[in-house]
Structure 1
Amino acid sequence: MNPPIASPVTHSSSRAAEGFDQALYRKLVWRIMPFLFLCFVLNWLDRVNIGFAHLRFKTDLNISDATFGIIVGVFSIGYLLFEIPSNLLLEKIGAKKTMTRIMILWGLVTVATAFAQTPAQFYVLRVLLGAAEAGFFPGVILYLTYWFPASHRARITSRFIMAIAVCGIIGGPLSTSIMSHFDTVAGFHGWQWLFVLTGLPPILAGLFAWYWLDNRPADARWLSQDEKRRIEHALAEERGRRQPGGHQHFLGALKDRKVWFIVLAYCLTIMSTGNVTNIWAPSIIRDSGITSLSQLGLLSALPYVIAVGVMLLVCRHSDQQQERRWHFTVPGLLAALAMLILPQCLGSPTATVATMILMTTGYLSATAVFWTIPTYYLSDRAKAAGLAMVNCCGQISSLLTPIMIGQIKTATGDIRLALYIVAAMVASGALILFFGVPRKALRDAPSTLEKTHD
């Protein structure tokens, strides 16, 4: 990854390093991240289970690929409506109440989806699911800024994003196993059991969140007063050195064209690639010649097994060098290149999976590095609404891209043309961020602990 652009270690950053040492860092990681990681695994499994369920309810309910694309896409309508209000509410009432509400509601809606029998019922439930989940991902990204300074965020974010990879690894085998072994149990189809069994765990996790999460370090009984002081000291040092875009509030951020370049990069690169890797991957692998559900589940997991290791290395290097643009752009272009190659590989399961490994590697690495950019560039007063807006606008891509892919696949009989179009979108997003957000806009990020901890 090149070229590295390291910021000099200042006397101020040295003091921040002393205030946020390795032992405290590890304590925060082990207390906060495992539970948030589990929640995101459940969240992502809840999103992608539709891709596996579709393999069976497509026939059971006579639903076309075009209709399925709409079912996937309308999820974003509810998300768009409630994303920013949910994040503003988190900042006001705290993560404890917000995460409890989000997880319990999305679990209930997922269970209800098991009983949908018509496209209209799927549309309504997917809109409700989007509304229930709105604010979860940007809420967690915002929540992490209350605990960890920017010099640690690529690795912290990568640990959270790793949940996508874990879901990709276990999601395929788990989903196909449920659909195979629970089919006809109690008179229900396997895909119905898939929704029920992936909807119950979030409800339980939501109840546990009320007990486990603390809104901010000051509320944490498991931290000593000295540890709370050191966390606040490190965050204050960061605020003192950080030079955000110059906007003092959310409306000011809306007038900043660099913010919109960041938004476009997220919409075009992250969300477009995610739609292919997370939603359409089962269908793509099946169309390459894999008909066995168990084989399909295992092969769909392989790209994530390899991609997660590369992502962790990329994010570690990004934090060490305090460089974000190259570490986002190169993986983004790798994902676009893989998507261009994929149509030539669809006749071979081996070539298809190998190409999807490249695409998934680029997708996960770009996603993890991406979120260090808006969390640094947005000012503290604009951050809650700004992060929600970035993710909210990304849902526009989640709404339109699967509909476009489904329509093209239904009209032409295959997915090739759609992949070419999405590849162009992904590459455009990567280049928009690289050229639209100059190095100087991000180069002053704090550089504490250049040889930092894991």
Structure 2
Amino acid sequence: MPTQQQLASPVPIATTASPRVAEADTTYRKIVLRIMPLILVCYFFGYLDRVNVGFAKLGMVNDLRLSEAAYGLGAGLFFIGYLLLQVPAGYLVQLYGPRKCIAASMISWGLVSMATLLTRDEASFYVLRFLLGITEAAFFPAVIAFFSVWFPSFRLSKVMSLLFLALPLGVILGGPLSGWIMDVTHGGYGLKGWQWMFLLEGLPAILLGLVSIRAIVERPDDAAWLMPDEKALVQRELAQESRDKQTSLWPALREPTLWILFATSFLYNLGNYGLVFWMPSMIKSIGGLTNFQIGVVTALPYLIAACAMLLNSIHSVKTGERLWHTAAPLIVGGAALVASVTTRDAPALSLLCLTIGISGIQCTLAMFWSLPSRVLAGTAAASGAGLVNIGAASAGFAGPAVLGVLGQLTGSMTAGVSLLAFALFAAAALIFAIPRHLMARHVVSA
């Protein structure tokens, strides 16, 4: 069995720029511009349909007489369905290919999202959230598998930072959009504003799923828009990097590094999802704001976080340093979350601290998700990403649920937000336990 060092030994580092390096950079810019816009838009609507329940809460909790704990449980049940299918979804991707899995996932989750307008009580809320998680489960492993045949891992941090722009954009654009829909459609044809929101925001996923069936090109060899020498360059980089990676999932499961990634993903996503599902309610507590205004105020921290995420990724690529660019944002973010609850009597200062906390989480997100592909390749890539994503999905259930229970027991968000902060500190500590060679900058030699 390969040793841990052999699983992801670095490709030799190029010390000087060369024509080949310039040619590769030009080719990959062309690839990014061609394939990323559609994937980014698809992920945006996936994330929006996942988290818009945070805005629906502003109306549906009273309409359906849901308790805070019931809402937190329902919001988190998405991730139970999601995590149950993560590893099986990896095998489905290998069987049917990323294109079909992306399209099928989007069409099915769009239908379930639209059906959420039929929610009548706790039971139907729980069932629909669980089904939404099942239908979204194959999308992310399919995207990771798709990227693995286009990009070597040392290029993935920048690509993943572009992909993960969908997350803050889901709040930056989706927040005001959700609030506006709820305000202007309320009462139309006998439906509540939150019912219209689910209906209108689920439809784009179906349309994009139909588009992706024809638009996604699964392999460089099939891309008519790449020149033969560009296709050869991509295949050469991928082949050179994949030589020492584990290509079978089951042997890789015995490697400690994969489980460190799993635990890290769980801990920092406690903070990520705990905040995203409760931020609108936190902002609402300021008082006197319409749903649209709540959406705008909620979007501001994520707008800043998106800029911070890109700058952190670009600076990491420029300097070749990965460890501190991955761990330090969580340390700063955790401290900021603690400060946000100690300054709750000063709303503007508390919002600033929340902004720093969210920025820390988002900065780590893109850096972290380039790591699994440094350990796994081939058939293991999608299933390994699915396994690590189970950590995130578990946190997606635990974060909202814990905040809901603690909020109901204590009457405030202080205890819950403090718990999320300490989870970020623990995640940062685990990042320092990741083998250093996985944090090295991998560059194909000239």
Question: Corresponding residue for 1:437?
Answer: 434
Determine the structure 2 residue equivalent to 1:138: 141
* Code of the aligned partner of 1:421: L
Alignment of 1:37-436 (within 5 A): 37-240=40-243, 243-244=244-245, 247=246, 249-269=248-268, 271-289=269-287, 291-434=289-432, 436=433
Corresponding residue number in structure 2 for 1:3:
none
What are the Cα deviations for residues 357-387 of structure 1, in whole angstroms up to 9, with x where unaligned? 1011111110010011111122434222111
User: Does the 8 A contact of 1:84 with 1:135 survive in 2?
Assistant: no
CA distance in structure 1 between the partners assigned to 2:340 and 2:239 by the alignment: 47
CA shift, 1:79, in A, is 0.8
Displacement of 1:299 in angstroms is: 0.7
Give the aligned CA root-mean-square deviation in angstroms.
2.1
Distance, in Å, in 1 between the alignment partners of 2:158 and 2:414 is 35
CA distance in 2, matches of 1:46, 1:407: 24
Paired with 1:250 and 1:175, the residues of 2 have a C-alpha distance of: 40
- The CA deviation at 1:125 is 0.6
The one-letter code sitting in structure 2 at the alignment partner of 1:43 is G
Shift of 1:231: 1.2
Deviates further, 118-127 or 332-341: 332-341
TM-score, normalising length: structure 2: 0.93
Give the AA of the match of 1:17: V
Tell me the SS of whatever aligns to 1:74.
Answer: helix
The one of 430, 442, 446 equivalent to 1:446 is 442
Cα distance in 2 for residues equivalent to 1:355 and 1:264: 26
Per the TM alignment, residue 356 of structure 1 is displaced from its structure 2 partner at its CA by: 1.6
Shift of 1:393: 2.6
d(CA) in 1 for partners of 2:185 and 2:264? Answer: 41
Cα drift, residue 224 of structure 1: 2.8
Secondary structure at the counterpart of residue 218 of structure 2: coil
Displacement, 1:138? Answer: 2.9
| Structure 2: gaps spanning 5 or more residues | 1-9
TM-score (norm 1): 0.91
Question: Residue type matched to 1:117 in 2?
Answer: R
Q: Which amino acid aligns with 2:76?
A: G
Q: Tell me if the contact between 2:111 and 2:206 (Cα under 8 Å) persists in the aligned partners.
A: yes
| Whole-Å separation in 1 of the counterparts to 2:355 and 2:334 | 12
Q: Contact (CA 8 Å) 2:333, 2:424: kept in 1 or not?
A: yes
Relative to structure 2, which stretch is displaced further, 37-46 or 393-402? 393-402
* Native 8 Å contact 2:12 2:442 kept in 1: no
- CA 1:449–1:56 in 2, change beyond 3 Å: closer, same or farther? farther
Please tell me the residue identity of whatever aligns with 2:203: L
Please give the alpha-carbon distance, in whole angstroms, between the structure 2 residues aligned to 1:127 and 1:273: 21
Q: Tell me by how many angstroms 1:139 deviates.
A: 2.1
Please list every run of 5 or more consecutive structure 1 residues that lacks an aligned counterpart in the other structure. Answer: 1-5
Say whether the 8 Å CA contact 1:145–1:375 is kept in structure 2: yes
C-alpha contact 2:273 2:400 (8 A) present in aligned 1: yes
Contact 1:13 1:447 in 2 (8 A): no
1:281–1:238 distance in 2 versus 1, CA, 3 Å: same
Supply the AA of the counterpart residue of 1:106. W
Instruction: Establish whether residue 17 from structure 1 lines up as the match of residue 13 from structure 2.
Output: no
Residue aligned with 1:395, SS: helix
Instruction: Report the Cα offset of residue 325 of structure 1.
Output: 2.1
Tell me whether 170-179 or 220-229 shows the greater mean CA deviation: 220-229
Counting aligned pairs with the same residue, the percent is 34
Distance 1:290 1:139 in 2: 43
